[in-house]
Amino acid sequence: MLFLDNFSVFIDDVSIVQAVSLNLDKGQMHVCMGPNGSGKSSLAYALAGHPRYKTKGTAQLNGNNLLDLSPDKRAKLGLFLSMQHPQEVPGVTVRMLLKEAFCALYPEQSLKVFEERLKVALELLQFEPLFLARSINEGFSGGEKKRCEMVQLFVLQPKLAILDEIDSGLDVDALKCVGEALHQFKKICPESSLLLITHYQRILKYVEPDVVHVLKGGKLVASGTAHLVHSIQERGYDQFS
Amino acid sequence: MTNSLKKGLNKNIVAEISQKKNEPQWMLDFRLKALETFERKPMPTWGADLSHLDHTDIYYYVKPVEKQSREWKDVPDSIKKTFDALGIIEAEQTMLAGVGAQFESEVVYKSLKKEWADQGVIFCDMDSAVKEHSELVKKYFSTIIPPGDNKFAALNSAVWSGGSFVYIPKGVRVEMPLQAYFRIDQESMGQFERTLIIAEPGSYVHYVEGCSAPVYQSSSLHSAVVEIVALEDAHVRYTTIQNWSSNVYNLVTKRAVAHKNATVEWIDGNFGSKVTMKYPCIILKGEGAKGQVISIAVAGKDQHQDAGAKIIHCAPRTSSNIVSKSISKNGGIASYRGLLKILKGATGAKSRVQCDALLLDELSRSDTYPTVDCKEEQVDIGHEASVGKVSEEQLFYLMSRGLSAQEASAMIVNGFIDVFVKELPMEYAVEINRLIAHEMEGSIG
């Protein structure tokens, strides 16, 4: 699935992420934690192909080299990035984006499949159908933005989803909603892999990670089982050097 | 010796136009007087660059028969390609390119024609109206836009040909849009068409002209005049989509008068042309009258879209709304030029002006020239303007969902003009979205 080898990320020659290597298998869920500014989001954006980031090393998705591809080509290989601050696109409705994206990724599929996936997603993420007529992310609350990213996840059903702080800025109810939806996603798409970037333990109540990574100062300083999360909660990131 | 008139303009040519049309004396007199006005008025220098417009090098009247003689092979490839991208059927393509004569909507048109006639609605070309409805025409013709209004209104008055005449009787609501499309003949797409719409008290009509496909004109000047009279409680909506080939100077005067509690709306989409100067105007003459202008302008390489709106509040509790969207790409220039005038005594007048510009690259330009002239204190005026670029972050967001750079930018642009597209009849909306997608080809690296 996702294979990183000595993967480094730069912005204007400034090194942000250094020589990360990891292997995320089909159907697995990995969690990436770390203090603010440790390079977690940069890692995610660089993998999705944001033009601001330069990279070195290897990043492959199912054996395909990601690094020379534009973001849409990466999406077509099955990569999805849920963003921490998803962009507003005035006048472009949620339905329009979902449908165009679905058609781009599944040109052979009938729109019936699209409608079915959409229906499930709206129910799970607790959106009224009227929501689809709103401009994407425009005037959305923090919770609506994250739930809308989750709707996209369900409709697009990627092979690898990188979820960047999908649990930030959520109140208790929204967190429960997103957490339970994530749990459902794993059931609906058992072969999809997830890379969850988070600051908090709380979302992990809903989904059990296979591997936990700690990124600090741009370096992968620890990898381990779910126990690592508890250790972070108790003793913070200072224990890693 | 062919039948066509010579290039350039003088009294003889104007007289010949009138004579060929078998016009009454009053129209000939009107034309000749307008010609004097045209010759007297200097070229406007306050707007787009018109210095390359050579009045001596233009045919001012071309008989329909001669227009049809153009051949399909003479139509530029770029235009043919756009037809294909828009999915325009062949019969329509030839008509739009000025090659064929008739469009196969004749049947549809006939049944509609009967329906209109039963309601007392008059919808015909202006030339026929001068002869068949002369009293009505005489009463309103050029009362909204007199020849002396501007140089190009004078020109149109002298040499006009074709255009539509619409009369809606008292209380009649025409639910289906009247489309110039349905009775398209060579003249209605002419260079100097003249349209007059009269809406009697309490009536409603939506008039639609043009289409998103490029209109190929070998002639380089298009100068139309459109006049609307909306009497008490009447509601007139006028939708224009124009996509001129890039050699055309498109200099159009459009003005409406809204009487007591009447509503006038200009929905105006401007694509193509070399230079467009067009500022649809609404005079809110009666108490409680409402006006709305929603427009988009797309300026590409070597194009200058100088467009906007003019609203004049003359009476109490009148209200207006202007939404102007412009898109510039490949070095194109889009200017918004607006006038909002509120006369003394127009108490409680309300106006909202919003103009947004979107630049697709560093080469392109957008200017805004809003003028507000307010002589009344008890008014409520709002003006908002924005200039934006298609941001890297928006593009990345959409591309990360699987859309190509071109698809993503077309989506952003279509979103930007959504307020405009929403106002269009469905088939036009679909065409505009396709046109934008087509225009984006090659715009985004």
Q: Tell me the pLDDT tens digit for each residue of A138-150.
A: 999 999 999 999 9
Of B278, B306, B327, which marks where a domain is finished?
B278
Token pair for residue B411? Answer: 């989506």
Say how far apart CA A151 and CA A185 lie, in whole Å.
10
d(CA B12, CA B9): 8
**CATH entry 3.40.50.300 includes domain A2-235:** yes
Check B400 against A87: CB less than 8 A apart: no
CA distance A157 to chain B (A): 11
What is the spatial distance between Cα A28 and Cα B186, in angstroms, rounded to a whole number?
A: 67
Q: Is B362 on the interface with A (CB under 8 A)?
A: no
* Domain termination residue (choose one: B278, B311, B330): B278
Mean pLDDT of B347-356: 96
Residue identified by tokens 């003459």 is: B285
Q: How far is A238 from chain B (nearest CA, A)?
A: 34
CB contact under 8 A, A97 and B412: no
Q: Which residue has the tokens 């409608």?
A: A115
Residue A240 confidence class, pLDDT cut points 50, 70, 90? confident
In a domain, B307, yes or no: no
d(CA A174, CA B356): 35
Nearest CA in chain B to A162: B400
Q: Dihedral, CA atoms, B388, B392, B395, B401, nearest 10 degrees?
A: -140
Which DSSP string corresponds to B147-194?
Answer: GGG-HHHHHHHHH----EEEEE-TT-B--SPEEGGGG--TGGGSSS-E
* Domain membership flag for residue B55: yes
Least confident stretch, A136-140, A215-219, B424-428? B424-428
Distance CA B318, CA B347 (A): 8
Residue B391 in contact with partner chain A when CB distance is under 8 A: yes
From B311's Cα to the closest Cα of chain A, the distance in A is 26
Do the domain assignments include residue B335?
no
Nearest to B184 by CA among B240, B101, B247, B282: B101
Residues B240, B114, single domain; the answer is yes
What is the span of the domain harbouring residue B421?
392-445
- Asked whether B214 and B247 are in contact (CB, 8 A), the reply is no
Query: How close A203 gets to chain B, by Cα (Å)?
Result: 24
Tell me if B2 is assigned to some domain: no
Q: How many CB pairs under 8 A join A and B?
A: 86
Band (B1; pLDDT cuts 50, 70, 90): very low
- State whether residue A133 sits within 8 Å of chain B by CB: no
Does B396 sit within 8 Å of A90, measured CB to CB?
Answer: no
| Residue B54 placed within a domain | yes
Residue B232 CA: distances (Å) to CA of A212, B123, B204, B284: 73, 21, 11, 11
Q: Supply the mean pLDDT for chain A.
A: 95
The last residue of a domain, from among B278, B293, B311: B278
Residues B101 and B240 in one domain: yes
Angle between helices B426-440 and B405-416 (to 10 degrees): 140
Contact: A101, B402; criterion CB under 8 Å? yes
Is B333's pLDDT higher than 90? yes
Quick one: which of B218, B234, B233 has its CA closest to B99? Answer: B218
> Which of B396, B415, B419 is closest, CB to CB, to A92?
B415
ipTM field: 0.97
Structure tokens that stand for B392 in this block: 């890297």
> Which residues on chain A are in Cβ contact (under 8 Å) with B399?
49, 70-72, 75
- The answer, for A241 touching chain B at a CB cutoff of 8 Å, is no
pTM: 0.84
In a domain, B312, yes or no: no
Residue for token digits 């302008």? B297
Question: Is B365 within the bounds of a domain?
Answer: no
Question: How many structural domains is chain B composed of?
Answer: 2
The average pLDDT across A161-185 equals: 95
Out of B403, B418, B419, name the one closest to residue A104 (CB).
B403
pLDDT at B152 over 90: yes
Pair of tokens at residue A120: 């499930």
Could A72 and B404 be called an inter-chain contact, meaning their C-beta atoms sit closer than 8 Å?
Answer: yes
What would you measure as the largest C-alpha separation in chain B, in angstroms?
68
Residue A177 and residue A126 in contact, taking contact as beta carbons nearer than 8 Å: yes
In a domain, B314, yes or no: no
